[in-house]
Structure 1
């Protein structure tokens, strides 16, 4: 049985969510809190497997509670449940150690699946959240590669060999080879085919 603490400042929302979750034989909403302060008090006196928590709440918000949970090394997992698909909210939650992030408009069966996955020690992010995280990761990884290397990647993805790339960039073949070697080391890619896949996946082929 997954023992859940439900934290949200809207009573009607909590009531409906509690009813839906308790219909599942593997989940029990053991207690509820309407703000972060109440949640922290409950966590210090009761053991829960998972905290299902909103972000924007009075008294103490969900981000601060999440930070304290991780600082105090409490054993419970934390799944953020929010209406916010804002990149800053999502990335802040991840940096503070959230085990998952689900938007409030997901179907009930998806939320239940998310709870079970997070409780088992894995992570779960709803589709929109995954897309935002993927875009952020792409931006970070793109930043690893210099502008010149990005240009080399684009030409590689267009099927050009080292000689053609050298002619295109007005450099020596040896310089092209050096660029490709550096890119492979930075991105931990071993083959030209891998470089092409990377360029396509992260939009560097355009």
Structure 2
């Protein structure tokens, strides 16, 4: 039997936390703590060592954006998933740049939330479909010339799909290549760009308007 994913929920509304806890635990996930702000989430993470932390953006004491940055610095191995009502491109960009691996709206169905948790826990990225549309709606502009000089067309394809929230298996299916080839491309991209993690690659893709043609 596989190990249950351990979670912390950070939201300043007790009823929201309870609803999330019920939805997640009904799917076999383990909520080790639920807290009211980012500062409490950091303290709980030090104690419980979760796999994934769910963060609201608007919280007192320490909001989700500041919490992302603090988690990225202090607990880089913990995966961060934003769950919020804000479907705003500026918020989305900021939390991705701060280290979040996913962004889900609070009105998403429970099965999507569970999928998002599992995806980010396995090292992937996840954006709700409406969030992805918001995020990439302005990416029709030309890409930076430097990017085209650095990455091969296939590496650009892999980077674009990674930024859209796909994992290695999904990218392999989309591009009709092997998972091992995808992994090799990702390693090459990291080496060429000098970026060591998926969040950094996504940030680079967003900053450079990487989209598939």
Where on the TM-score scale, by shorter chain, does this alignment land: which range? 0.5 to 0.7
Which residue in 2 is equivalent to 1:163?
Answer: none
2:6–2:51 Cα contact (<8 Å) kept? yes
Aligned residue in 1 for 2:27: 24
**How many residues matched?**
154
Indicate how the Cα distance of structure 1 residues 188 and 19 shifts in structure 2: closer, same or farther if over 3 A, else same. same
CA distance in 1, matches of 2:127, 2:8: 19
Counterpart secondary structure, 1:138: coil
Residues 1:92 and 1:19: Cα distance change in structure 2 (over 3 Å): same
Cα distance, 1:66 vs. partner?
A: 0.6
Runs (4+) off by over 6 Å? none
Matching residue of 1:138: 140
TM-align CA RMSD: 2.5
Shift of 1:143: 5.5
User: Which one scores higher on RCO, CA 8 angstroms, separation ≥ 6?
Assistant: 2
Instruction: Provide the secondary structure at the position in 2 that maps to 1:81.
Output: strand
Query: Structure 1: where are the runs of 5+ without partners?
Result: 146-181, 191-200
C-alpha distance in 1 between matches for 2:140 and 2:75: 31
**Aligned-partner Cα distance in 2 for 1:60–1:23:** 29
The aligned counterpart of 1:90 is 92
Does the Cα contact within 8 Å between 2:68 and 2:99 map onto a contact in 1? yes
Instruction: Select 1:10's aligned residue among 5, 13, 17.
Output: 13
- Considering only CA atoms, is the larger Rg found in Structure 1 or Structure 2? 1
